Amino acid sequence: MPELFSSALADSSSVAVDGGRAVNSAILEQITTLSLQSVYLASALIAVLVIIALLVKNQSELVKNLLFWPMVIAIGLTTVIMGGSTIYLNVVSHSKGPVHWHADVEIWACGQELNLKDPQGFSNKIGSPVLHEHNDKRIHLEGVVVNLEDASLGHFFETIGGKLTSDELSLPTNDGQARFANGELCGEHAGEVQVFQFLIKDGKITQRKLADPAGHIYGPHSQVPPGDCLIVEFDRRKDQTDKLCRSYVVERQKGDAQ
């Protein structure tokens, strides 16, 4: 565990900084691993000591101290590691602390909507604890944003087991991995990966086609709207789409947007 902590600190000195704020996402992974390992080790040690305490009768003062103080030290060290990790990430991260950002996303191919695969087992999401989807066509970014690129549409697709570039689209579905590449036919026409962003400005729904879909940064909004509506579409080349996220449709029906 000390080696892992030293490695995390060493890596931080070699990170490329963007305006003094961006840090390598690998640091987040190492610090997260360190924190989890400290919790697991402390929990295991405390469990063993509690079992010994229950089994040993008529304990002497020495035995009581040998059982009590290791528990105190384990809890104290874990608290310091967890607290230090949290403070460090909050200081060096782009977001300066945990966030809760949302963006709605719909995926279409040749006129047919595609749904991401359903969560499996006891999990209610696909992706990671920080970046995921709850079978609700909504991107959830819940945690510390280390690099701003962690809030990109391309990173979301990578996290859920897919891929999004200007030339290629793949995503996990209940029927397996769906893949599309520029030039493949959609009916009689060559298809192309395209992404359209909808926003509400001054009460009006606006649309634009993204030049760099994978690099698009959504947020920072906890509600949708005003958060992004993103239509990912594999179809013949077009300047606009006729698709619209359900949340924006509801906003229009309520009369809050045109």
Task: Answer whether residue 258 is part of any domain.
Answer: no
Q: Give 51-68 as a DSSP string.
A: HHHHH--S--HHHHHHHH
Residue 112 lies in domain? 98-253
Q: For the chain, what is the mean pLDDT?
A: 85
pLDDT, one tens digit per residue, over 26-43 is 666 677 678 778 888 989
Q: Are residues 120 and 75 in the same domain?
A: no
What pTM, to 2 d.p., does this model score?
0.72
Residue at a domain's end among 92, 120, 141: 92
Residue at a domain's end among 62, 92, 122: 92
Would you give the DSSP letter of residue 188? T
- pLDDT, position 5: 35
For residues 190-212, average pLDDT: 95
> In total, how many domains does the chain have?
2
Highest mean pLDDT out of 17-21, 131-135, 169-173: 169-173
Quote the CA–CA distance of 175 and 225 in Å, as a whole number.
31
Residue at a domain's end among 60, 92, 124: 92
Other beta carbons within 10 angstroms of residue 228's beta carbon come to 23
Q: Are residues 65 and 169 in the same domain?
A: no
Q: Are residues 34 and 52 in the same domain?
A: yes
Q: Are residues 145 and 49 in the same domain?
A: no
